[in-house]
Structures are given as structure tokens and as C-alpha cells.
Chain A
Amino acid sequence: GQQLNQSPQSMFIQEGEDVSMNCTSSSIFNTWLWYKQDPGEGPVLLIALYKAGELTSNGRLTAQFGITRKDSFLNISASIPSDVGIYFCAGRSNTNAGKSTFGDGTTLTVKP
């Protein structure tokens, strides 16, 4: 089946630093999604990407859909304490009954 490799697994950074995380796949996806999950809550959609090469921003967040359609990255600029959480990437393929394949998540800790 389809698998996603998300890295890094965890990050410890100082407030104000920039953050970068990425996902790679052995399969091609038609859509890449990035979510943030706070403890004990459901994931919240941050950014959705629909075209290869697409670069999309949402405030301090920027994500790109890789040209090969097998990878995506998420950048967070000027991190703040409320950025703490688990970030998940997800890929969706039109040939997989609309199901999403999720990465294992990147746990972000921001030190004030």
C-alpha cells in the first residue's frame, strides 16, 4: 500500500526560529494536505495543495507540492509558543477511493 515518510519525527526549537518539515512517498498523490493536532483534539487542516509545484501560504505557514508529486514540505516562519503540536502530512490519490494516507507526524516543541 501507499506509505508516507515524514521527517523529522520531532523538533525542539527556540521561539522565533523557522521550522521545516517534509514528507516523501513512493507513490504519486493528487492532493497534499497538512494538519496540526493539539493534544487531545482532532487534526485541523492548515494547508491544502492540489497542483504539482504549487506553493501556498497561510500566515506564517508555507507549503509546497513537489514537482514529482511524491513529496511536500511545510515551513513555519518565526515560530511562537502556540505552534507547539503535532503536524501531519497526508496524501490523497484519485485512485484510492478518496482515502488519505498519513505520515506519522512531526512533534514540534517551541521553547520561549
Chain B
Amino acid sequence: DGGITQSPKYLFRKEGQNVTLSCEQNLNHDAMYWYRQDPGQGLRLIYYSQIVNDFQKGDIAEGYSVSREKKESFPLTVTSAQKNPTAFYLCASTGDSTYNEQFFGPGTRLTVL
């Protein structure tokens, strides 16, 4: 089945450690996105990539980094510079057709202790 996978579902890290969240899609989509969601709030864009080897900062990029070496993969690293990293992280992708709906992965809940 085509879709977006994120792993792990739950992640625990000590304060001060970097952590990388995985996002893989087999939808052959060019564009991929990372969002952060805090309890009771909407989605805030962290980074996005419209094509391999290219990515742009979203609204809240500070303390995060990404790479896009392959079309299928868009990992997000939460660095120790991110002041409040505990959140629910969602990856999404979009095709390049006229009907370019955005599809989401199941999310990763990161808790920094």
C-alpha cells in the first residue's frame, strides 16, 4: 500500500541530546513537509522540501534541521537548541498533479525528559 510512515511512534530523549525523526513515503511525491503540533493547537510548519536536495524553512525552523537526499525520505533532527522540543511531530507529502492533496503520516510523539 502507498503511504507515509513515521518512526518511531513514541520517542523519549534526555534534555540536551539531538534526536532524528524518520519520515518515508512511497507515493512518489516530490514535496514533503514537517509540522509540529502542541496540545489543543493547530499545525505549525517547521521545514518543507519541494524537491530532492532542496528544502526551505517554515514558520518555526529554529532548533531543527532536515535533509532531503532521497525523494522518499525527509528526516527531521530536533537539536539541543530547540528550547521546547516535547510535541507531536507530523510528516506530510504532496504530489505534483493538479489535485495535489496533502497526506499525513501517523506522527511521532517526542518527549524530552
* A positions within 8 Å CB-CB of B: 1, 6, 31, 33, 35, 40-45, 48, 50, 88, 90, 92, 97-100, 102-105, 107
Contacts and interface: CB of A to CB of B under 8 A. Distances in A.
By Cβ-Cβ distance, the 6 closest A-B pairs, closest first, are: A42-B104, A104-B42, A102-B43, A42-B107, A102-B42, A42-B106
Contacts of B56: 97
Contact of A104 (B31, B41, B103): B41
Interface in B92-113: 92, 94, 98-107, 109
Contacts of B109: 40
Range of interface residues on B (Cβ < 8 Å): 20 to 34
12 contacts: A31-B100, A33-B101, A33-B102, A41-B106, A42-B106, A43-B43, A45-B102, A50-B98, A90-B102, A97-B56, A98-B94, A103-B42
A42 B105 contact: yes
B45 interface: yes
Interface string B49-72: 010000010110000000000000
- Interface secondary structure of B, over-half rule: strand
A41 B107 contact: yes
B74 interface: no
Interface of B: 4, 6, 31, 33, 40-43, 45, 48, 50, 56, 58-59, 88, 90, 92, 94, 98-107, 109
Contacts of B33: 99
A45 B42 contact: no
B99 A50 contact: yes
B42 A88 contact: yes
A99 B48 contact: yes
Given A40-B109, A42-B90, A90-B102, A98 B50 contact: yes
Contacts of B88: 40
Contact of B99 (A40, A48, A90, A100): A48
Contacts of A97: 48, 50, 56
B31 A98 contact: yes
A48 B102 CA distance: 10
A88 B48 contact: no
